[in-house]
Amino acid sequence: MTYYDIMKRAALEVSLDFSEEMYHKFMVYMKLLKEWNEKINLTAITEEEEIIKKHFIDSIKAFKAEPFKECSSLIDVGSGAGFPGLPIAIVKPEINIVLLDSLNKRVNFLNTVISVLELKNIKAIHGRAEEEARKKEHREKYDIATSRAVANMSVLSEFCLPFVKNKGYFIPLKGPAVEEELEAGEKAIKILGGELKEIIKVEIEESDMAHNLVVVKKIKSTPSVYPRKAGSISKKPLR
């Protein structure tokens, strides 16, 4: 089975169309990722098949959660090399997407990919979540805030939920220890205005990998004291 076939199958499994043009964009993205990774640390995953499965398909499978299918605005917090935000932008160009990262070198990489792929629906910004979430242009403005491999649920909820509008969603991509994390993060989610709706198990084609989508609905505004100042969130997580 070719890479194109595997990706098309993954997209169809979450009811997405997948074209050869999209596939071409992913291949260019992969080429840029490998080139830049020699200069700055973007990913420990460097084999092509692994990049496709662990980065591209992993990101596309976010659409297993229904809110992604109805979403018009999304912020990817701590986007790193662009996952899951950039793959989402490629397969669903009608969503307006912001990639937020605190390291300028990574933002330069993201902007290069956006420019080379001529993506019109997405921008990368340099900033810290705890500062950007206090700005009027970002506070409670997004249908979805998502994130992958950034922090545990207690910490991540404080980074992400302030970006989410009322009745919107915080949907992080999480690994196998999700139940433990949610137990520790339950209070934080509630304090920040969220309510856990479901955990969706996701499998990746042609592999034994699996992850979880944690679907948290925003049911009330985040109190103005959150997010707290840099450092406090990680040192004293809400419990």
Query: Which domains, and CATH codes, for the chain?
Result: 3-235 (3.40.50.150)
Q: For residue 161, what are its two tokens?
A: 């939920």
What is the rounded CA–CA span in Å between residue 234 and residue 112? 31
**b (16+ CB within 10 A) / e for 53-91:** bbbbbbbbbbbbbebbeebebbbbbbbbbbbbbbbbbbb
Could you tell me the pTM of the whole model? 0.96
Q: At what angle do helices 178-191 and 153-160 cross, to 10 degrees?
A: 40
What is the rounded CA–CA span in Å between residue 169 and residue 85? 15
What is the rounded CA–CA span in Å between residue 199 and residue 212? 6
Residue 188's closest CA among 227, 149, 140?
A: 227
Residue 193's closest CA among 157, 172, 218?
A: 218
What is the rounded CA–CA span in Å between residue 115 and residue 79? 17
Note the pLDDT of residue 1: 80
What is the rounded CA–CA span in Å between residue 6 and residue 27? 13
pLDDT in tens, the chain (239 residues): 899 999 999 999 999 999 999 999 999 999 999 999 999 999 999 999 999 999 999 999 999 999 999 999 999 999 999 999 999 999 999 999 999 999 999 999 999 999 999 999 999 999 999 999 999 999 999 999 999 976 889 999 999 999 999 999 999 999 888 888 898 899 999 999 999 999 999 988 777 777 899 999 999 999 999 999 878 898 888 98
Q: How many CB atoms neighbour CB 107 within 10 A?
A: 19
